[in-house]
Amino acid sequence: MRFIFFVLLYCVTSPPLSAGERETIIVLGDSISAAYGLDQVDDGWVALLRNKLKERNIEVINASISGDTSQGGLARLDPLLSGYHPKVIVIELGGNDGLRGLTPMQMKHNLTEIIRRGRNAHAESLILGMKIPPNYGKRYADLFERVYQEIAAQEHVSLVPFLLEGTGGQDRYMQLDGLHPNREAQPILMDLVLKALVPLLGKKNQS
C-alpha cells in the first residue's frame, strides 16, 4: 500500500519542466477571475494558482476582464492563442451572460467556439461552470446551468460544475454584493481548479 501511495503522489506532484518545456495556461474569465473587489490582485485565485504552479515551470496568464461575457471572451481569444500558444485554456465565462438575461443558446455557441478554436491551436480546455441567482426563475436558471454540462459532454472537455461550490451564498466567503467571492474564498476556488487541471497538465497536446 505504501508503494502505491508514493506512485500516486509522484503523479500529482510530478517534477518541474525544463526551460525548453515551459507550458502556459490562459485563464479567460470575468470579474471572479479578475480579482474584482479584492484589495490586492495577488489575493485572487488565479494569482494563487500561478504561485502554486511556478515551481513546475508553468506560466499562468490571467486574461480575465470584469464584466466580460462569453462573446467578449471569444472576440479576444485569437490573439491570446497566437501570442501565448497555451497548453490549457481555463474558461470562466457565462456568469455575465446570465445576469444580463442573454440566451443560453448564444452562450453555448460562444463557449463551444472558444473550445474548438483552442483545440485547433492544440490547447486543452477546462470549463468552470457557474450558476445564477434564483430570482431569474427556475427554468432559466436550469437552462443556464445545463449549458456547461452539455458543452463538456459534447466537446469531451473537463468541467468544474460550479466554481463557487462551498462558497457561493455563504456570507463568510462572499463580498457584500453577494456575487463575488472574498479573499477568504480564493484558496478554495484555486483548489477546485487545480484538481481539475492536474490531469490536463499530464496530457500530451493533440495535433
Over residues 92-107, the pLDDT tens digits come to 999 999 999 899 999 9
Domain coverage including residue 56: 19-201
The CA radius of gyration of the chain, in Å to the nearest whole number, is 17
Provide the whole-model pTM: 0.88
Residue 135 contacts by C-beta under 8 Å, 6 or more apart in sequence? Answer: none
Q: Is residue 11 in a domain?
A: no
Q: Is residue 56 in a domain?
A: yes
Tell whether the model's pLDDT for residue 194 goes beyond 90. yes
Range 60-82 average pLDDT: 98
Q: Is residue 167 in a domain?
A: yes
Across the chain, what does the average pLDDT equal? 89
Nine-digit cell string for 78: 485569437
Number of domains the chain is built from = 1
- Of 11-15, 127-131, 150-154, 190-194, the one with minimum mean pLDDT is 11-15
Q: Is residue 130 in a domain?
A: yes
In CATH, what number is assigned to the domain containing residue 185?
3.40.50.1110
pLDDT of amino acid 8: 34
Point out the catalytic residue in the list 39, 171, 177, 207.
177
Range 121-140 average pLDDT: 93
- Residue 180 annotated in active site: yes
Point out the catalytic residue in the list 30, 31, 33, 125.
31
**Structural contact between residues 15 and 201, judged by C-beta atoms closer than 8 angstroms:** no
Q: Is residue 14 in a domain?
A: no
Q: Is residue 7 in a domain?
A: no
Q: Is residue 206 in a domain?
A: no
pLDDT of amino acid 21: 65
Point out the catalytic residue in the list 33, 68, 97, 180.
180
- Of 17-21, 38-42, 123-127, 144-148, the one with minimum mean pLDDT is 17-21
